[in-house]
Structure 1
Amino acid sequence: MVFKRLRQAMGVGGPSVETVLADPSCRPGGQLAGRVRVTGGDHPVDVSYLALGLVTRVEVESSEAEYDTDQEFGRQQVTGPFRLAPGQRHDVPFRFAVPWETPLTEMYGRHLPGMTMGLRTELEVARAVDQGDLDPVAVHPLPAQELLLDALLRLGFRLAGADVERGHLYGVRQGLPFYQEIEFHPAPRYARTLNQLEVTFVTDPQQVQVVLEIDKRGGLFTEGRDTFGRFTVDHATAHTQDWTTHLDTWIRQSLSRRGLLS
């Protein structure tokens, strides 16, 4: 499906911009291909640049408040300055490199609740910057990520949703100023001891850093606390591991060490 947008960029009589994606689906580390058509208005203008950027919704926590905001990332300039005559069409083909750490928006064949992602086109004319609406983008898991997610499904975990939080994870090499948490309801075998399992992927061209967070249930004589686990998965060898067994073993050992699982 091709998403289109046609809008007036700089007021009455100004240029208009139409952005067309050849395919709105992608994976982290992949590309989005398409073209931007800038059409001149009723007077000549000097365009300073045309740029593209991915935008997602990010949760920000501070000592004063907690709020959501749009976060642009992976920004790329696709043209330098050019002159646009009245009524002239200027087509700009592009290949937008999707950052490796881009959050996922699609899982198990459906949209991931809580996630938004879009490609924004920005045009500057006479020092006035116009940012258009978002063209929706669907980000699917990489094979290594998909193997881990499928393993959780086989263990009986149920997808709850996801969010993106601003900040950096301790002990993890991270390029973007935010990270995604994918939330799962506990599998039946863990339901009496777990509230939730959260998974974070921080990916680069060679491997996926995986952060698991267990939100344990509190009881009459125990306090619910989070437990973290970290490991890396190489893209090239991910298919050689039994991830169902690996994840089940880690969760059981984490709970057993705290006397929550016999």
Structure 2
Amino acid sequence: MFKKLMASLGVGAARVNLVLDNEQCRIGEKLTGKVLIEGGNVDQGIHALDVDIVMKFTVRGKEFTRTVDTVRVARDFRIKARETREIPFEHAIPIFYPVSKGSVSYSLATRMDIAQAVDTGDTDRLVVLPSREMTMVFNALEALGFKEKIGSGKIGKLGQQFEFYPSTLFAEQLQELELNFYLENNSMKLFMELELTGGYMRNGLEHHAELDLPAELLSGGSVQGIADFIREFLENELNRVSIQGPRMAPSYHNVQPHTHGPGFGGFMGGMVAGMLGGAMLGSLFDGDENEEAGDNGAGEEGSEDGFDFGLGDFMDFGDDEF
């Protein structure tokens, strides 16, 4: 009786530990491992065993924490005293997770709901890496002499945006290249914003372009092949700009986003857009970023019950970087 009483208070109760095969996982691949449960001094009933995927990020020096997914591992079972049990764990990293970069980070919170006792848990680190296709594009840009800027990886209207500057090739024509990744069927699109430099073009003028990377090019795995494809595309775009002038309207205006699912269309890293909905998110980012925001409670941590951003949390986003 005394052991049961102590277990109900958390002393000598069952314990849980999530053991990952690898704490790093690419977008589009499966995070795998096992949940270890060690029985305590008495038999205990377990109502629920869940793992929360928690994202932490900083905006204007204020830290936010949100649960972006919950993996249901097991329900309603019993763990005997001193018993050790292993339950497989896996979770596919979807395309709408932003990459771990800058202030964006993840953790895994394992929660075990014990009947008539103090609940227990475990916390582990998670690093979300770019998908294989994204990595090949990054490597191709590096091969062309592009360097990723400090602060790259901010969250915008269409999700996570990556920023590069040319160090050799295109350095006389471009100040900056920004891109969003978009998946459509078996191909990947790069929505680009090219900030032009001087010469025959006005300094700082922006040109929007859309590049389709064929599935066969990506599946071939040739970084040099992708680099040549991107180089030829940029050369043609810059030549077109010199003759016709820059395209001021973004290409993504033609994309019809899906606002009912967890992601935002096929935009990779589009977590925020998918959860808030395109119309609401657009109104937040289109506001005057220099306008003073009121007291909206943005400095407080959000609810861990799900990825439920309130309007107050994002009123002062502007176009800030994460």
Residue in 1 that maps onto 2:180? 200
What are the superposed Cα offsets for residues 101-138 of structure 1, whole Å, 9 maximum, x if unpaired?
A: 33344xxxxxx555534443233335976664232335
Listed as ranges, the matches of 1:136-155 within 5 Å are 136-137=126-127, 139-142=129-132, 144-155=133-144
Residue 156 of structure 2 corresponds to residue 180 of structure 1: no
Query: Match for 2:87: what amino acid?
Result: V
Listed as ranges, the matches of 1:105-254 within 5 Å are 105=100, 113-126=102-115, 132-137=122-127, 139-142=129-132, 144-161=133-150, 162-165=152-155, 168-169=157-158, 179-191=159-171, 194-203=174-183, 206-215=186-195, 224=204, 226-238=206-218, 239=220, 242-249=228-235, 252-253=238-239
Report the structure number with the largest CA radius of gyration. 2
Kindly indicate whether the alpha-carbon contact (under 8 Å) linking 1:212 and 1:228 is maintained by their aligned counterparts in 2.
yes
Q: Which has the higher helix share?
A: 2
Task: Extract unaligned runs of 5+ from structure 2.
Answer: 1-8, 248-322
Query: Match for 2:33: what amino acid?
Result: G
The alpha carbon displacement at 1:35 in A equals 0.5
Kindly indicate whether the alpha-carbon contact (under 8 Å) linking 1:119 and 1:137 is maintained by their aligned counterparts in 2.
no
Give the superposed CA RMSD.
Answer: 3.8
Residue in 2 that maps onto 1:79? 74
Kindly indicate whether the alpha-carbon contact (under 8 Å) linking 2:27 and 2:128 is maintained by their aligned counterparts in 1.
no
Change (3 A) 1:14 1:24: same
The alpha carbon displacement at 1:53 in A equals 4.0
Q: Which has the higher strand share?
A: 1
What are the superposed Cα offsets for residues 146-193 of structure 1, whole Å, 9 maximum, x if unpaired?
A: 33222211221112243352x642xxxxxxxxx222222333444466
3-state SS, counterpart of residue 137 of structure 1: strand
Kindly indicate whether the alpha-carbon contact (under 8 Å) linking 1:74 and 1:99 is maintained by their aligned counterparts in 2.
no
- Distance in 2 of aligned mates of 1:250 and 1:68: 43
Greater relative contact order (Cα < 8 A, sep 6+): 2
The alpha carbon displacement at 1:216 in A equals 5.1
2:93 pairs with one of 94, 98, 104? 98
Task: Extract unaligned runs of 5+ from structure 1.
Answer: 1-9, 106-111, 170-178
Query: Match for 2:146: what amino acid?
Result: F
The alpha carbon displacement at 1:210 in A equals 2.3
Normalising by the residue count of structure 2, what TM-score does the alignment of the two structures yield? 0.56
Change (3 A) 1:133 1:205: farther
Kindly indicate whether the alpha-carbon contact (under 8 Å) linking 1:120 and 1:134 is maintained by their aligned counterparts in 2.
yes
Q: How many pairs align?
A: 228
The alpha carbon displacement at 1:37 in A equals 0.4
What are the superposed Cα offsets for residues 48-73 of structure 1, whole Å, 9 maximum, x if unpaired?
A: 2222343333466xxxx784423433
The alpha carbon displacement at 1:208 in A equals 2.6
Q: Which moved more, 1:249-258 or 1:77-86?
A: 249-258
Residue in 1 that maps onto 2:23? 24
- Distance in 1 of aligned mates of 2:138 and 2:184: 18
- Distance in 2 of aligned mates of 1:45 and 1:15: 7
- Distance in 2 of aligned mates of 1:203 and 1:38: 39
Q: Which moved more, 1:144-153 or 1:197-206?
A: 197-206
Query: Match for 1:39: what amino acid?
Result: E
Kindly indicate whether the alpha-carbon contact (under 8 Å) linking 1:101 and 1:204 is maintained by their aligned counterparts in 2.
no
After TM superposition, the runs of 4+ consecutive aligned structure 1 residues lying more than 6 A away are none
